[in-house]
Amino acid sequence: MWLRVSALVLRYLFLYRRSLARAGEIVFWPVMELLVWGFLTTYLDELSPKKPMVYLLGGLIFWDVLYRSQQAITLAVTEEIWVKNLLNIFLAPVSIFELMLATCIMGIIKSLLTGVLLSVLALLFYTFNILDVGLALVPFLICLLLFGWAMGMCTMALVLRFGQAAEALVWGVPFLIQPISAVFYPVAVLPPWLQVIAKLLPSTYVFEGMRTALDTGEVSLSLLGLALLLNLIYLVGAAAYFGWMFARVREKGGLTRLGME
């Protein structure tokens, strides 16, 4: 199994090596976001005694970990559709579990590369060192990876079911939850009815826990526990939904249609 999974991971890595456009997804857009938000927070930092830079830059770096984790899964499938290689993947002795595992590994690789790059640039440009908090942030980063996988599986299932008509969801789903995930501000800022929805997302507890860790240097076990519990629910539900949707698509010949679009 691991030989096939490693072969898939190498295939996706080779795509980035041979395409500057794909590499830009990991480097260009995250760096542009960091520069824009970083200079904005530098300005706000001069106006406010509450030092918003720490929270905004920390939220930006954490958000990109979640976004890259989700994108690694969904883009893997959509790119196979674009190059009409989807049928070849499933005709090969590769199970759907192995494909999912390979894309999840790609999510880890992309998130680590982007996270390290943004952390270094934040230190160079804004003297913001996220490592000052130490290991307290690691469990929350893991939670974001897990939630990104769950979102990726749900989005990928919709892409398989509806084809190119659903490709906008690849980029739209993460930004749909961003306003209610308390990325750049606490949950208390949201209207009461949105707070109820926000508390159903593990990402909300991650970003709240991140701010607590940046303030105190300690992990909030209650926030971390809620994030892990919700992640478990979302992962199981996303895997079941993807398996059900994949079975329906295969029964109706949807894979052949997608492979020829």
Give domain limits for the chain.
Answer: 2-260
pLDDT at 84 over 80: no
pLDDT at 247 over 90: no
For residue 251, what pLDDT band results from cuts at 50, 70 and 90? confident
**Residue 38 pLDDT:** 63
Bigger pLDDT: 46 vs 215: 215
55 burial (CB, 10 Å; 0-12 / 13-18 / 19+) is buried
- The whole model's pTM is what? 0.78
Q: What is the pLDDT of residues 129-170, one digit of tens each?
A: 777 766 677 888 889 889 999 998 888 888 887 776 667 777
Name the percent of the chain lying above pLDDT 70.
Answer: 74
